[in-house]
Structure 1
Amino acid sequence: MTTYRNPVLPADWSDPDVIRVGEDFYLTASSFSRVPGLPLLHSRDLVNWSFVGHALDRLEPAEDFAEPRHDRGVWAPALRHHDGRFWIFWGDPDHGVYQVNAPDIRGPWTDPWLLKAGKGLIDPCPLWDEDGRAYLVHGWAFSRAGIKNLLTGHAMSPDGRELLDAGRVVVDGDALPGWFTLEGPKVYRRDGWYWIFAPAGSVETGWQGAFRSRGFFGPYEERVVLAQGDTDVNGPHQGAWVTDPGGGDWFLHFQQRGAFGRVVHLQPMAWDADGWPVLGDRGQPVAEHPLPLPGGEPCAPATDDDFPDGTFGPQWSWLANPASGWVLPGDGDGLRLACRPTVAAADLRRLSSVLVQRLPVGPRTVEVELRLDDPAPGAKAGLAVVGDAFSWIGLERDPGDGGGVRLVHRFGDLVAERERDAAYARPAPEGRARLRVEVTADARCRFSAAVSPDAEFRPSGQVFAATPWRWVGAQLGLFAAAPPRPGEEPGGAAVFRGFRVT
């Protein structure tokens, strides 16, 4: 392979930031209220990526994230390497600017440190200057702060634990004709210039801007350096400038793709005679381009999981801070999710203990094996697609006197308070099923199942149109739940095996 095609990460890696340390590239992205958060990827060529892990074990304040808060939490992190440590700064729009740091990308990472408290503080990025001084730039969320289209700069202590001034506006988008929703700044220092790369014009229809100044606090001059133009890459938005070991410059950014979320593109980056960056093909996104660094091993972030030793891989996160007992010990035959008693079991958007991963750009086929081991009437488990609307197929213990297990297909829409049955339910006498969802290129999902090992898959219900979830793409999910139990009655489990995405 001598060329790559965009997107290089065809799934929801929102607000990516990338750095290079030696010959290794590292990437992080927004994780919002999913836990663990701050996912970390590694690459040697900017095209092929694999999981390293996560930098955030729990969200703080912990009590605020005991339930799903999918439009809150970790927004637009900035990843940096300074003084022998890795640093990640992010904005929580309801609490302020946090940072964590570690001596190695695999950790151990420090506990979150609240650097600046306040509402609407988003998209922070630090800069350690050549003279030892440190700075921070951030944007604003109108929904919390009542202001937007501004980038604010601060002097910061070199240890990243204190801001040294009240801050001042370094770029005023309202003073730039035609600019609106300026956000997502990433700040750099090169050849005597301070550079801020920041998008504007909204996620779905905007453009990528570059700003330069001889001083961190400005004044800055601006230029649009990447826009949709004649391509089908709408709103090229918010990303990272990185230089490869040979001195070549590159820019990674996202594109909003509906239910698939914010997929990541890689653009070549050159410089014009006036010293301004030229991204893509003369300022338009490229669909295909020669590899930055030929010879890399083809790979992609993991999706499949055999759940070795009853544990799940780094591609999975919970919808909220997890509690003990959500995963039960077993004999190594798969992942045992506890059928947690909960009144929220009818609406997967409110159920914290849904284990999710990104819905990859289709066409894809997703399969998993399920066994329901909970004897309680109404206990259920399944394979789901969760967004503003959700749908799942799985097994449920009959609430009637018989107590048998049946295959069911349920869904809930934007306004439904309870889930509804799809086309049919049928017996699953062995309490087992193979579950499948086929995802098309336009995020249409066809559910099907087989209730015995030698049975063929039978489709269930109408095609379900996956939907995004505010800032988040739709999620593939595994879950187990049950109605509240009387007294101290022990709960059971659902066992998942052989999760595959092909």
Structure 2
Amino acid sequence: MSSAPERDTTFNNPVIPGFHPDPSVCRAGEDYYLACSSFEYFPGIPVFHSRDLVHWTQIGNALDRPSQLRLPPGTPASGGLYAPTLRHHDGRFWLIVTNVSGDGNVLFTATDPAGPWSDPVRLPGVHGIDPDLAWDEDGTCWCTVAGVSQVRIDPYTGETLGEPQRLWSGTPGAKAPEAPHLYRIGEYWYLLIAEGGTERCHGVSIARGRTPNGPFEPCPDNPILTHRGTEHPIQNTGHGDLVQGPDGSWWMVFLGVRPRGGTPGWHVLGRETFLAPVNWTDRWPVVGEVSPVMAAPPWPLEEPAARPVRDDFDLSELAHYWISPRSRPAEHCTTKERAGWLSLRARGGSLDDPEVTLVGRRQQHHSCRTRALVDPAEGRGGLAVRFDEEHHYEIETADGEVRVLARIGPLRSVVASRPVAAGPVVLRIDTAVTREVTEARQGPDTVSLGVEDAKGTFDVLAALDGRYLSTEVAGGFTGRVIGPYAVAGTVHVDWVDHEEVPD
């Protein structure tokens, strides 16, 4: 007689690793859905599904059509889409977000969170970023934005109903009150915000009132979540959203970073999505301890879906996790031109160009290996690690040669080169986390770029310091993206694989 399998007692944080910031979560029945910011990348706003809050599978991108998302060529790195709020109300899913480089605040709806999502409903009367949606008992829809201010809206037309009103804006003197979320929980309305800026002083605070527009009384224990001034391995914790489980328990998803190396500590994966339990004391939420290994929720955890490692480009459409800077016209990126291959037709002449043709996936592991079989017979291109136009490393092939290039701020150089035989070549980029910090200036990881032969031997042309592809150096709000690109003619890619390498 077989015994029932043992329930998992722990899980790993972050629950969605890599550049997945500003998480917003909702529950429909026993299913959870989550959306994140995507900034200058297309398609925009990745959408995830989970049955246990721990294991998440990307089911789509809410903004996957040009009619939904305008990111003009002048969109700067870390511009674009900021801080979505995802809600389930009246049998429909609602997503509101700010496009700081295009249409301002816009609202989308769907009956299935996997899509398709509607074309945008524009909200010209809603000013500010990080918009939130909440409905009261009589059906009034309240939109609250960073600052913090609030206005009633018609979510079907985008019309504002009345004038914006200022609300509680967090701790006096704390900068950047943002990421507001409004909830009716029991007899109170709760206003959750982030404050302190999205760097090391980030935190989450909360207030409550008897009506959705206040007045609001701040929690005496604010901030209810922060790691400022600590040596905790998870930093910049903030931008949270609350959700209640079917069993009545409460949870918070929030962003954080995992700095590595010496001083000041560099985070290279961007801001990631973390999970923590929430208890209630005197009708105030108390966020539980946050750590890289957490006690599991009281329900059975789902069998985690295997993260895709290899893409052979055998499908007519790209997988959900592939993203591109600003746009991805079909005439410049297709799997239909050459069966089983991804064909990339160049636009920009280098990765310095905002319109470069690049298809990448978020780096999700500190130590990882990315490989691609690239045929440059009709052009020039390769495999890149991109942070923005001024911070990227790449290994490029054309005319019987491979070379490693590095762009760090105003400096651009060819670091190394060597000849290769004509025909397709396996390009490879490995990142290896710094295991032991021996002095204060030591970087977070090493990025090795080279070629791989038929036996799998890795010929490293250059091993570069990873600190220069980090938020602390490059600035902004994103993280590393790794993938193939073309900068002249057409480059064909047979496959790409990306996998974690144990530290």
TM-score, structure 1 as length reference: 0.86
CA distance in structure 2 between the partners assigned to 1:2 and 1:62 by the alignment: 41
Among 304, 311, 314, the alignment partner of 1:298 is 304
Cα drift, residue 431 of structure 1: 2.3
Which digits, 9 at most, give the CA deviation of each residue in 1:356-376, with x for residues without a partner? Answer: 2211131111222111130xx
CA distance in structure 2 between the partners assigned to 1:349 and 1:42 by the alignment: 35
**2:19 aligned counterpart, secondary structure:** coil
**2:124 aligned counterpart, secondary structure:** strand
Q: How does 1:107-186 map to 2 (within 5 A)?
A: 107-116=115-124, 121-139=128-146, 150-157=147-154, 159=156, 161-173=158-170, 176-186=171-181
1:264 equivalent in alignment to 2:273? yes
| Aligned residues of 1:393 and 1:409 also touching (Cα < 8 A) | yes
**2:315 aligned counterpart, secondary structure:** helix
| Aligned residues of 1:11 and 1:360 also touching (Cα < 8 A) | yes
Which amino acid letter does the alignment assign opposite residue 132 of structure 1? G
CA distance in structure 2 between the partners assigned to 1:346 and 1:361 by the alignment: 26
- Cα RMSD of the aligned pairs, angstroms, is 2.2
Seen in structure 2, the aligned counterparts of structure 1 residues 246 and 160 have a Cα distance that, compared at 3 Å, is farther
Identity of aligned residues (%): 28
1:216 aligned residue = 212
CA distance in structure 1 between the partners assigned to 2:288 and 2:24 by the alignment: 18
1:480 equivalent in alignment to 2:486? yes
Cα drift, residue 453 of structure 1: 2.2
User: Quick check: 256-265 or 289-298, which moved more?
Assistant: 289-298
Among 98, 119, 124, the alignment partner of 2:106 is 98
Cα drift, residue 84 of structure 1: 1.3
Seen in structure 2, the aligned counterparts of structure 1 residues 492 and 446 have a Cα distance that, compared at 3 Å, is closer
Which amino acid letter does the alignment assign opposite residue 419 of structure 2? P
Which digits, 9 at most, give the CA deviation of each residue in 1:204-261, with x for residues without a partner? Answer: 2221111111111111112321121753322311021011111111001011342210
| Aligned residues of 1:19 and 1:80 also touching (Cα < 8 A) | yes
1:202 aligned residue = 197
2:42 aligned residue = 35
Cα drift, residue 69 of structure 1: 3.0
1:144 aligned residue = none
Among 351, 354, 357, the alignment partner of 2:358 is 354
Cα drift, residue 2 of structure 1: 1.9
1:51 equivalent in alignment to 2:58? yes
Among 310, 323, 341, the alignment partner of 2:329 is 323
CA distance in structure 2 between the partners assigned to 1:294 and 1:64 by the alignment: 42
Cα drift, residue 103 of structure 1: 1.4
Figure out how many residues of one structure are paired with residues of the other and give that number. Answer: 460
Among 397, 403, 413, the alignment partner of 1:420 is 413
| Aligned residues of 2:383 and 2:396 also touching (Cα < 8 A) | yes
**1:236 aligned counterpart, secondary structure:** strand
2:493 aligned residue = 495
2:402 aligned residue = 407
CA distance in structure 2 between the partners assigned to 1:63 and 1:5 by the alignment: 36
1:367 equivalent in alignment to 2:371? yes
| Aligned residues of 2:43 and 2:63 also touching (Cα < 8 A) | yes
1:234 aligned residue = 235
TM-score, structure 2 as length reference: 0.86
**1:216 aligned counterpart, secondary structure:** coil
CA distance in structure 1 between the partners assigned to 2:190 and 2:238 by the alignment: 17
| Aligned residues of 1:124 and 1:185 also touching (Cα < 8 A) | yes
Seen in structure 2, the aligned counterparts of structure 1 residues 255 and 434 have a Cα distance that, compared at 3 Å, is same
2:438 aligned residue = none
1:386 aligned residue = 386
Seen in structure 2, the aligned counterparts of structure 1 residues 67 and 324 have a Cα distance that, compared at 3 Å, is farther
Cα drift, residue 309 of structure 1: 3.2
**1:325 aligned counterpart, secondary structure:** helix
Seen in structure 2, the aligned counterparts of structure 1 residues 21 and 349 have a Cα distance that, compared at 3 Å, is farther
Cα drift, residue 291 of structure 1: 3.1
**2:479 aligned counterpart, secondary structure:** coil
Which amino acid letter does the alignment assign opposite residue 384 of structure 1? A
Which amino acid letter does the alignment assign opposite residue 262 of structure 1? R
1:463 equivalent in alignment to 2:458? no
Which amino acid letter does the alignment assign opposite residue 285 of structure 2? P
1:309 equivalent in alignment to 2:310? no
Cα drift, residue 128 of structure 1: 1.2
Seen in structure 2, the aligned counterparts of structure 1 residues 53 and 279 have a Cα distance that, compared at 3 Å, is same
Cα drift, residue 193 of structure 1: 1.2
Seen in structure 2, the aligned counterparts of structure 1 residues 62 and 264 have a Cα distance that, compared at 3 Å, is closer
**1:25 aligned counterpart, secondary structure:** strand
Which digits, 9 at most, give the CA deviation of each residue in 1:456-497, with x for residues without a partner? Answer: 211112324122351111211210121xxxxxxxx5332231
Seen in structure 2, the aligned counterparts of structure 1 residues 14 and 443 have a Cα distance that, compared at 3 Å, is farther
Which digits, 9 at most, give the CA deviation of each residue in 1:106-142, with x for residues without a partner? Answer: 22211112113576x2000011112211111001xxx
Seen in structure 2, the aligned counterparts of structure 1 residues 124 and 62 have a Cα distance that, compared at 3 Å, is closer
| Aligned residues of 2:380 and 2:491 also touching (Cα < 8 A) | no
Which amino acid letter does the alignment assign opposite residue 381 of structure 2? A
Cα drift, residue 348 of structure 1: 4.1
2:450 aligned residue = 448
User: Quick check: 123-132 or 453-462, which moved more?
Assistant: 453-462
CA distance in structure 2 between the partners assigned to 1:11 and 1:304 by the alignment: 18
1:78 aligned residue = 85
Which amino acid letter does the alignment assign opposite residue 52 of structure 2? D
**2:161 aligned counterpart, secondary structure:** coil
2:5 aligned residue = none
2:439 aligned residue = none
Which amino acid letter does the alignment assign opposite residue 276 of structure 2? Q
CA distance in structure 1 between the partners assigned to 2:134 and 2:291 by the alignment: 27
Which digits, 9 at most, give the CA deviation of each residue in 1:134-184, with x for residues without a partner? Answer: 111001xxxxxxxxxx200111225362210120101234xx434221111
CA distance in structure 1 between the partners assigned to 2:39 and 2:420 by the alignment: 37
| Aligned residues of 2:98 and 2:130 also touching (Cα < 8 A) | yes
Which digits, 9 at most, give the CA deviation of each residue in 1:189-212, with x for residues without a partner? Answer: 111211111111111222111111
Cα drift, residue 31 of structure 1: 0.8
Which amino acid letter does the alignment assign opposite residue 194 of structure 2? P
**1:235 aligned counterpart, secondary structure:** strand
**2:268 aligned counterpart, secondary structure:** helix
Which amino acid letter does the alignment assign opposite residue 221 of structure 1? E
CA distance in structure 1 between the partners assigned to 2:304 and 2:69 by the alignment: 38
| Aligned residues of 2:83 and 2:179 also touching (Cα < 8 A) | yes
Seen in structure 2, the aligned counterparts of structure 1 residues 350 and 304 have a Cα distance that, compared at 3 Å, is same
2:3 aligned residue = none
